[in-house]
Amino acid sequence: MDRTSASPQRHNAAQRSAHIREVVLAKGVELRQRYPILQHQDALGAGILAFALAGMIGSATLYITGHMAWWVCLLLNAFFASLTHELEHDLIHSMYFRKQRVPHNLMMGLVWLARPSTINPWIRRHLHLNHHKVSGTETDMEERAITNGEPWGFARLLMVGDNVMSAFIRMLRAKTWAHKFNIIKRTLKVYAPLALVHWGAWYVFLGFHAANGIAYLMGSPIEWSATTLSVMQVIDIAAVVIIGPNVLRTFCLHFISSNMHYYGDIEAGNVLQQCQVLNPWWLWPLQAFCFNFGSSHGIHHFVVKEPFYIRQLTVPVAHKVMREMGVRFNDFGTFGRANRFVRRDEVVAEEARTAQA
């Protein structure tokens, strides 16, 4: 792929971004006029949340009563949970019940309960709004936390799907004890209480079954106490109906998001350089559990106040104008550049040529 974005003549980056915004907003207006139901934004948000929660509870019930295979329940609930992530994102931008605090905060609480692997959504609001201001920079804590800008390797693979592991590795890398304690303090603050319980139960689940597997291979089965087995029965069920789905959803979302955002060398305020569209066919298994994030999230950087379902409906029009205005599509080189917009050696070479000129 050509690493240089298309650059239409006679338009600077701000003008091209404004043109994308204008075209996408116009499509949103057209959709609302054609389908009047789309004008009932609060009701649609609440309805989608009810659908997602009913789906998760229904799948869990069918699994627990023996009417659904564990893997079907896990995959379905990962999909339903991805809907609640999109709703939380919209809520952070105050798109539902903006002037009604009780239903707004009720929705915030419910989407958090559906995704206990995540940070407190009221805290995330500040991080995410800051993300829009400083996307692609060192101070973009939201994307940095999910490995944006990290060189690809075993450490990033561990970090991308496990929020607590990501914080743990960053703590180990910290050079001073003060910095280490600051990371621990911040992690406990943003993940308490749900995510600490979620990831703690996940590690217990992995440790218990790993120990049993090793003991079985060694021919010395472990005789667990009745209390331990009772606790593990609950954790095993939770692993299928809520923990496992969110681990899968987290990996899919963070893998897509951290690699579609650029980091470190973008022009300040240049939305064209903040994201690419990442939607090759082979990423569809991941897109399925983050609600087509790689294809649609870039649109959000241009048009912030459109709910996720409108954004999905505008994808064909948005992609056309984004491509015309120079937004990158499927720039797989990002995996080798640690998400830089251009390779560092190319920057050095360009600076050398400039110095010699």
Q: What does the alpha-carbon distance between residue 243 and residue 237 come to, in Å, rounded to a whole number?
A: 9
Q: Is residue 2 part of a domain?
A: no
**Is 97 a member of any domain?**
yes
Q: Please state the rounded mean pLDDT for residues 320-345.
A: 92
pLDDT in tens, 2-23: 333 445 667 899 999 999 999 9
pLDDT of residue 187: 95
Name the residue range of residue 225's domain. Answer: 13-356
Give me the pLDDT at residue 348, please: 45
Residue 225 pLDDT exceeds 80 = yes
Residue 8 included in any domain:
no
**261 pLDDT above the threshold of 50:** yes
Number of domains forming the structure of the chain = 1
Asked whether residue 5 is assigned to any structural domain, the reply reads no
CA dist 160 and 73 (Å) reads 23
Q: What 3 state SS string does 6-69 have?
A: CCCCCCCHHHHHHHHHHHHHHHHHHHHHHCHHHHCHHHHHHHHHHHHHHHHHHHHHHHHCCCCC
Tens of pLDDT, residue by residue over 242-255, are 999 999 999 999 99
Q: Do the domain assignments include residue 67?
A: yes
Asked whether residue 349 carries a pLDDT value surpassing 80, the answer given is no
Mean pLDDT of 285-290: 96
49-100 pLDDT, tens digit each: 999 999 999 999 999 999 999 999 999 999 999 999 999 999 999 999 999 9
The answer to whether residue 300 is domain-embedded is yes
Which pLDDT score is estimated for 11?
80
Q: Is the pLDDT of residue 236 over 50?
A: yes
Specify the pLDDT at position 45: 98
DSSP assignment string, 238-302: HIIIIIHHHHHHHHHHHHHHHHHB--SSPPTT-GGGTB-B---GGGHHHHTTTTSHHHHHHHHHH
Under the banding of pLDDT at 50, 70 and 90, the label for residue 146 is very high
The confidence band for 346, taking pLDDT boundaries of 50, 70 and 90, is low
pLDDT reading at 269 higher than 50: yes
Tell me, yes or no, whether 326 lies in a domain: yes
Residue 313 scores a pLDDT above 80 = yes
Question: CA-CA distance, 132 to 144, in Å (whole number)?
Answer: 13
Task: Determine the pLDDT at residue 3.
Answer: 36
Q: What is the mean pLDDT of residues 204-209?
A: 97
Cα–Cα distance between 119 and 146 in angstroms, integer?
A: 12
In a domain, 3, yes or no: no
Q: What SS3 class is residue 329?
A: strand
pLDDT of residue 353: 52
